[in-house]
Chain A
Amino acid sequence: MSATTNILVVGIGGQGVMTATEILAEAAIALGHDAKKTEVAGMAQRGGVVSSHLRFGERVLSPQITPGSADVLLGFESAEAMRWQHMLKKGGITLMNTARLVPPVVELGLFDYPDDPLAEIRKTGNKVVAFDATTIAQELGDIRLGNTVMLGAIADHLPFGAEVLLDCVLKRFARKGEKLVELNRRAFEAGRAAVGAAEAALA
């Protein structure tokens, strides 16, 4: 079991969580691992909660990550990163986008959105690194680069080199022209750098 790596990618429907997890799975497979990817998505296209599980290793049996056994939690949205903390193993790490996507039930005044999800996560004692992937993507010129920023963010927290993942990301854009490939390369590196800088600041 210890040989299996468990990555949990979370966010809300429409953010690209499932695609990001699929690219992570492709990287694992490229290295010869067995891999399984599964979602608890429901009617996720409609702005609901999405949690995508990726498990890889020599042989993967159950596709779901058991609570308390995720190695890395990649959060596309702050409150969602908070929602799934119980999935992390001791010593696991959260890499989270600081974006706040407030759902209609909060706008209607039925529930509160936490003031500071990052602080709530820190209170648990779990390791967490936060960065503003949305702004990074905007500064690179396109909000849609956010996914690649998120993948760059996890690149140095995998049991394999960042270049394998980068290759899999860029393959997706190969047919769309060199310009987009280059933009995504920069987005990936920016995500990596953001996490690196945040970790250095914490150390």
Chain B
Amino acid sequence: MAAVMPAPAASRHLLSGNEAVARAVWEAGVKVAAAYPGTPSTEMLEEIATYPDLYAEWSVNEKVSLEVAIGAAYAGSRAFCCMKHVGMNVASDALMTLTLTGVSGGLVIAIADDVGLSSSQNEQDSRYWGRFAHVPVFEPADSQEAYAMTLDAFALSEQFQVPVILRMTTRINHVKSIVTVGERVPHTGAGFRKDPARYVMVPGNAGKRIPLMFQRDRDLRVVAENSPLNFIEPGSDRRVGFITTGPAYMHVKEAFPDAPVLKLGFSCPVPFEKCRELAALVDQVVVVEEVEPLLETELKAQGIAVIGKEILPLQGELSPAVLRPAIARLLGEALPESEATTALQLFPRPPTMCVACPHLGVYYTLSQVRNLNISGDIGCYTLGAGHPWQAMDTCVSMGASMGIALGMDKGRGESDKDKRVVAVIGDSTFLHMGMQGLLDMVYNKGNVTVLLLDNRAVGMTGGQDNPGNGRDIHGNDAPRIDFAKLVSALGVKDERIHVVNPYELPVLFKTIREEVKVPEVSVIITDQPCVLIKDYHKLKPYAVDEDKCTGCGNCIDVGCPAIHVTRRGKEVKASGREVDLAFVRIESSVCTGCGLCLQPCAPKAIEHYVPSAPIQFAKGGCQA
């Protein structure tokens, strides 16, 4: 996308937290911004890339993105990096030493915690990184604060030559609220000043930086004590006072408008004196923080009497509906009346793969091959663990499919001695953290069949570009990695590398069946694009000839959401066995003609759709 003319200052904009941070990054004069996509952080960099006069990149993983940002900050420019919570696990190797060198130009790292697990494998609390790495943490409570705190974070970062963490959560990143914005202030970089004692972290140099880091902690605590980001609202009902951070502040204000509140926007290092000030105002203090009892534990260690996770949940989002009864119980009051009725019972509606998704063919095939243990990975294809395929047995972290597959192979017990081990990984996840695992597998002579699903996009987060599709963040041409050559270079034998069209089920089936029998590392690369990106081309849609459909239901096992059951029945086979029948139709308005469902259709009842009148558009069907 080309750079757009940024919106004028001061007017009121409806912005998500991600958009607000992006605006502030641009206004702060940032020169370099880097990230790897990850929900709920993705839109920050997507939005930043639309602004003029800065460099933005999709990096191959979060560690590289942080290192790119560090380099720019060493060079004296302002830099920004963002990631989802688990991304910092990957990037933390750099962070933990970055804290010793510090920065020259301001560096802000936005970490987006998926509190409530809308699209993540865990719910870890990123505020710990502030303590672990001895860097300050800011926690906005809405888009306006996300915007303002980003600007403040750059100023603090430069003042103390320290990276600053902006801790966000899904309820900040993805909530849209009103933001008043300003104008860009150009920032002139100081240039890189060689200083090995500071930038070359060998033991002799690093050891000398550690006391400086601790001194910085003490200095920052003084700043936090006096920061306008940390303020007390004295309230009028002094029975319970609250210490709170991030979006939890809004829930507290909504539920207890008259209560005294200490809001910590600059929450690490913790301003203990401010907390004592609040405690002195009230009968009891409740710490309201999402996920871990972090502040609570620190305050208790300081001898400040607070209540926290004794009465509030350790998991998931907080809300007024969670807070009101907890506080009523604490005060021995009657529980507040709710008008909420019990939810009606209904089927679940889990996310599904898209109509014609190239992964459908892969999982349909895997579900038909017996005796497999399938180590999976993170992306759209994680959905292969669900119905109808149930063809993924593990999912842990980015790239883990490789190492886990090798471990399953090497650690196989007697009961698994005839099992074949398969690893499934997407293109972007492979480039992110899977390559090293494959190298390890080859080097250590594993017996694993790797399915590398190359759909030319970071699918789950919205089809971002990556080195596998030959486009940069702006959609411009970029060098495109050749996966077959890459895995060959990692040591996989050329005769064990196959590039297969996942829509050709017989070829895919035969290739998988043969490769799992070979006791060494094989890589099967599927090469068709994600249906949601521009590389995908629709074909003529199909329809079911209802006179020919025998109700065998084979097509349903492909798992395409365009296939719908019209009626069910039962049939008694010659053997006397009763089988269920499901007669189907294809929602031709959403079918894009991939032809996967034709292949298992026994009676050949699926044919190209012939519109009788002008095309009838969908009455149902998922447009995903």
Chain A residues in contact with chain B, CB under 8 A? Answer: 1, 12-15, 22, 25-26, 29, 34-49, 60-64, 66-69, 79-80, 82-87, 89-90, 99-114, 120-121, 124, 134-135, 137-138, 142-143
Q: Which of A68, A113, A120 has the most CB of B within 10 A?
A: A68
Closest chain A CB from B67 CB (angstroms): 29
Tell whether, in the assembled complex, residue B340 and residue A100 are in contact, meaning their CB atoms are under 8 Å apart: no
A47 to B623, CA, bound (A): 8
Give the residues in chain A near B559, CB-CB below 8 Å. Answer: 104
Give the residues in chain B near A48, CB-CB below 8 Å. Answer: 349-352
Interface membership of chain B positions 322-348, coded 1 if the CB is closer than 8 angstroms to chain A and 0 otherwise: 000000000000000011111110111
Give the residues in chain A near B204, CB-CB below 8 Å. Answer: none
Chain B residues in contact with chain A, CB under 8 A? Answer: 12, 14, 39, 116, 118-119, 142, 171, 174-178, 247, 250-251, 253-255, 317, 319-321, 338-344, 346-354, 380, 383, 387-388, 460, 462, 532, 556, 559, 561, 563-565, 568, 580, 582, 584, 589, 616-624
Tell whether, in the assembled complex, residue B253 and residue A107 are in contact, meaning their CB atoms are under 8 Å apart: no
A107: nearest chain-B partner, CB-CB = B565
Give the residues in chain A near B319, CB-CB below 8 Å. Answer: 62, 64, 66
Tell whether, in the assembled complex, residue B623 and residue A15 are in contact, meaning their CB atoms are under 8 Å apart: yes
Besides A62-B247, A63-B142, A83-B343, 7 more A-B contacts (Cβ < 8 Å) are A14-B622, A25-B176, A29-B12, A41-B118, A62-B250, A63-B247, A82-B346
A155 to B443, CA, bound (A): 65
A80 to B347, CA, bound (A): 10
Q: Which of B14, B118, B341, B351 contacts A47 (CB 8 A)?
A: B351
Give the residues in chain B near A13, CB-CB below 8 Å. Answer: 351, 622, 624
Tell whether, in the assembled complex, residue A109 and residue B620 are in contact, meaning their CB atoms are under 8 Å apart: no
A102 to B616, CA, bound (A): 18
Q: Which of A29, A46, A68, A137 contacts B338 (CB 8 A)?
A: A68
A64 to B318, CA, bound (A): 10
Provide 9 A-B residue pairs closer than 8 Å at the C-beta atoms, listed in order of the A residue. A37-B177, A46-B351, A61-B253, A66-B320, A68-B341, A85-B344, A86-B342, A124-B344, A142-B617
Closest chain B CB from A96 CB (angstroms): 13
Closest chain B CB from A30 CB (angstroms): 10
A83 to B346, CA, bound (A): 7
Tell whether, in the assembled complex, residue A42 and residue B616 are in contact, meaning their CB atoms are under 8 Å apart: no
Give the residues in chain A near B388, CB-CB below 8 Å. Answer: 104, 108
Give the residues in chain A near B580, CB-CB below 8 Å. Answer: 109
Tell whether, in the assembled complex, residue B622 and residue A47 are in contact, meaning their CB atoms are under 8 Å apart: yes
A60 to B143, CA, bound (A): 13
A14 to B65, CA, bound (A): 31
Tell whether, in the assembled complex, residue B620 and residue A79 are in contact, meaning their CB atoms are under 8 Å apart: no
A5 to B249, CA, bound (A): 20
Closest chain B CB from A128 CB (angstroms): 12
Q: Which of B174, B340, B624 contacts A67 (CB 8 A)?
A: B340
Known: A68-B341, A86-B340. A45 touches B624 (CB 8 A): yes
A164 to B622, CA, bound (A): 31
Known: A43-B351, A47-B561. A102 touches B620 (CB 8 A): yes
A80: nearest chain-B partner, CB-CB = B349
Tell whether, in the assembled complex, residue A89 and residue B383 are in contact, meaning their CB atoms are under 8 Å apart: no
A99 to B559, CA, bound (A): 22
A184 to B339, CA, bound (A): 37
Tell whether, in the assembled complex, residue A138 and residue B351 are in contact, meaning their CB atoms are under 8 Å apart: no
Tell whether, in the assembled complex, residue A109 and residue B582 are in contact, meaning their CB atoms are under 8 Å apart: yes
A124: nearest chain-B partner, CB-CB = B341
Closest chain B CB from A120 CB (angstroms): 6
A111: nearest chain-B partner, CB-CB = B347
Known: A38-B171, A86-B341, A107-B556. A99 touches B620 (CB 8 A): yes
Q: Which of A12, A37, A101 has the most CB of B within 10 A?
A: A101
A43 to B319, CA, bound (A): 22
A107 to B178, CA, bound (A): 42
Q: Which of A12, A36, A109 contacts B177 (CB 8 A)?
A: A36
A126: nearest chain-B partner, CB-CB = B341
Give the residues in chain A near B387, CB-CB below 8 Å. Answer: 104-105, 108, 110
A79: nearest chain-B partner, CB-CB = B346
Closest chain B CB from A76 CB (angstroms): 12
Tell whether, in the assembled complex, residue A35 and residue B14 are in contact, meaning their CB atoms are under 8 Å apart: yes
Q: Which of B14, B339, B341, B344 contacts A82 (CB 8 A)?
A: B344
Closest chain B CB from A127 CB (angstroms): 14
Q: Which of B255, B349, B556, B568 has the most CB of A within 10 A?
A: B349
Tell whether, in the assembled complex, residue B623 and residue A35 are in contact, meaning their CB atoms are under 8 Å apart: no
Give the residues in chain A near B12, CB-CB below 8 Å. Answer: 29
Tell whether, in the assembled complex, residue B462 and residue A45 are in contact, meaning their CB atoms are under 8 Å apart: yes
A100 to B622, CA, bound (A): 11
Give the residues in chain B near A42, CB-CB below 8 Å. Answer: 118-119, 351
Tell whether, in the assembled complex, residue B341 and residue A85 are in contact, meaning their CB atoms are under 8 Å apart: yes
Tell whether, in the assembled complex, residue B349 and residue A103 are in contact, meaning their CB atoms are under 8 Å apart: yes
Closest chain B CB from A133 CB (angstroms): 11
